[in-house]
Amino acid sequence: MEIGRLAEIDFTSPIIHSSYNSITRKSQSIAYKLETILTACIDIKSTINEHDNIYIAGEIGDFFEKMYSCMEYTASILKELFRDKGTLQASYHDILKKIIKNEDSTKFLSDRVLVNFAEGTLSWYAIVHDTRSEEAHFTTWIPANS
């Protein structure tokens, strides 16, 4: 039996099983978060006050954090699936950079499955990575005056 593109036998690995369950849980949370953001934007329409602004910014930041987290779990699954072929980098971002730049002396990262997966994320991953990184590492929140 296949679940997504993983065969049931792959789920015997505790790392893959745990990471897959985390992705499933977070993807449900992402869907809820997106609905929350859209509802908030519709509800407030054109009158956005400072409180609404902070609330929506926080929800959007959390949305991107969850997306980024799912890609880190994906990196864990990829590392486990391909561990007999070589050692993958620690983060999805590092794996993606090496695949794109074709900087792998062992040619392990040119595996068609990895390349196809990476190419499928190129249209949106940079936005998630950059937005999440900005939010997590550089944004300073100044609380509204109470």
* Residue 1 belongs to a domain: no
Q: Rounded mean pLDDT of 42-54?
A: 72
pLDDT (mean) for 12-24? 84
| Band of pLDDT at residue 103, cut at 50, 70 and 90 | low
38 versus 69: the higher-pLDDT residue is 69
- Residues 125-129 have a mean pLDDT of 85
State which H helix or E strand residue 6 sits in.
strand 6-7
Domain span holding position 51:
7-138
The Cα–Cα gap between 108 and 81 comes to 12
In-domain check, residue 144: no
Q: Is 123 part of any domain?
A: yes
Q: How many CB atoms lie within 10 A of CB 99?
A: 21
Instruction: Provide the pLDDT confidence category of residue 104 given band limits of 50, 70 and 90.
Output: low
Cα separation, 1 vs 33, whole angstroms: 31
Which is more confidently placed, 5 or 135? 135
Tokens representing residue 21 in the block: 């369950």
For 3-14, what is the mean pLDDT? 61
Give the distance, in angstroms, between the CA of residue 50 and the centroid of all CA atoms in the same chain.
Answer: 29
Task: Out of 12-21, 26-35, 101-110, pick the least confident.
Answer: 101-110
Total domains in the chain come to 1
Q: Is the pLDDT of residue 45 over 80?
A: no
CB 52: neighbour CB atoms within 10 A? Answer: 14
Give the Cα separation of 14 and 19 in Å (integer).
Answer: 8
Residue 111 belongs to a domain = yes
Q: What is the pLDDT of residues 19-28, one digit of tens each?
A: 888 888 888 8
Q: Is the pLDDT of residue 9 over 70?
A: no
